[in-house]
Amino acid sequence: MPRSGARVSLAPVRLKLTLLLVAVVLLASVAAGCGGSSKSSASTSSGCSVDSLNLVKSGQLTIGTDNPAFPPWFGGTPPKGSMWKVSDPNSGQGFESAVAYAVAKQLGFKKDNVHWVVVPFDQSFKPGAKNFDFDVNQISFTPARAKSVDFSDSYYDVNQALVGLKGTPITSAKSTADVKKYKLGAQIGTTSYSYIIKNIKPTRQPSVYNTSNDVNSGLKAHQIDGIVVDLPTAFYITAVQIPQATIVGQFPTVGTPEHFGMVLAKGNSLTSCVDKALGSLKSDGTLAKIQKEWLSSKANAPVLK
């Protein structure tokens, strides 16, 4: 009859093998990870005439943004059967939609030749070929990010704002220092979070959420005292999403102001053409007009000192 002692104990052998396996995998990956610059998937067109542009699909300008598309960045109601939720980028309404179409026009595209695709935030910077020509999604420029993707010039300077529930103590805050003691929340991937860490430096660790809806839920559940978010979105939250919330104030700009830029594939020749287009829109006042139309009433919130 078999006795357990007769079988060779494999435990020490398997332990050694496992250790070796882990070591080999680690070595391979770390050795392979030695710095080095990447080859860019650059294209070689020069000039910005519409026929010579480097496009994902020739004859068409493919623009990416996330779904749902929220006001005030995107407006208009999605038609029945559309994949877009809340707002419809195709409408040309909303700040970013308007800017995108204005840039498209400068580049020489008719409205019909502009095609929108859904690009979740995480996928806008993954390596490999992009499925969009540029992505417009309230993405802030940072030098670190610019190592992996191309950013266009600024199309909007960002101010952070603070949202709290009416009647709660945080609404009486008058300065950044007043806010330090509260539990704050922000969405992942936004520079709102880094503003909290770098400039507000609260005493309690902030909460971070996957989506803007989750941040709102956190506030409604009283698990956070205040939301830090860009000012235009703050207006949308207090006007539409959480009517029982109010804007406590906007935070002062610290250091160089943050700005939104469009994201393109690293080394894409289209970037300089988009910058040229933006430059034209700034100098002829179109950009300011678009901003006034979609964001201007949102300019007035008290500044926290």
Partner 1 sequence: MSVDAETGRANRRSRILGDLQGGRNIAVAVASTVVFFAVVVLVVVNSAGWPEVRKAFFDRQLFTDSFPEIARAFLLNVRIFCIAEVVILVAALGIAVLRGLPGPVLFPFRLLAVVYTDLFRGIPTILVIYILGFGAPALQLSGVPNSPFFWGVTALVLVYSAYVAEVYRAGIESVHPSQEAAARSLGLSHAKTLRFVIIPQAVRRVIPPLLNDFIGLQKDSALVALIGPIEAFRQSQIDVAATFNYTPYLATALLFLLLTIPLARLTDWLVARDRRRQSAGGAR
* Contact criterion met (CB below 8 Å) for 249 and 161: yes
The answer to whether residues 266 and 40 touch, using CB atoms and an 8 Å cutoff, is yes
Q: Which residue has 């400039």 as its token pair?
A: 199
Count of residues that interact with partner 1, criterion CB under 8 A: 63
Q: Cβ(216)–Cβ(185) under 8 Å?
A: no
CB crowding 228-254: b at 16 or more within 10 Å, else e: bbbbbbbbbbbeebbeebbbbbbbeee
Q: Select 111 or 222, whichever has its Cβ closest to partner 1.
A: 222
CB of 145 to partner 1, least distance (A): 4
Quick one: which H or E segment has residue 231? helix 231-236
Q: Is 167 in the site for partner 1 (CB under 8 A)?
A: no
Q: Say how many residues make up the chain.
A: 305
Find the part of the chain contacting partner 1 (CB under 8 A) among 12-20, 56-64, 274-282, 292-300: 12-20
Residue with smaller CB distance to partner 1, 214 or 293: 214
Q: Is 33 in the site for partner 1 (CB under 8 A)?
A: yes
Contact 298, 72 (CB under 8 A): yes
Q: Which of 84, 156, 209, 236 binds partner 1 (CB under 8 A)?
A: 209
CB closer to partner 1, 41 vs 49:
41
Distances (CA, A) of 213 to 157, 188, 190, 218, 263: 24, 12, 14, 9, 24
Out of 52, 142, 175, 300, point to the residue binding partner 1 (CB under 8 A). Answer: 142
Stretch that binds partner 1, among 77-85, 162-170, 208-216, 242-250 (CB under 8 A): 208-216
Which residues of the chain form contacts with partner 1 (CB under 8 A)?
1, 3-6, 8-9, 11, 13-18, 20-22, 24-26, 28-30, 32-39, 41, 121-122, 125-128, 142, 144-145, 147-149, 185, 188-189, 193-194, 205-210, 214, 217-218, 220-224
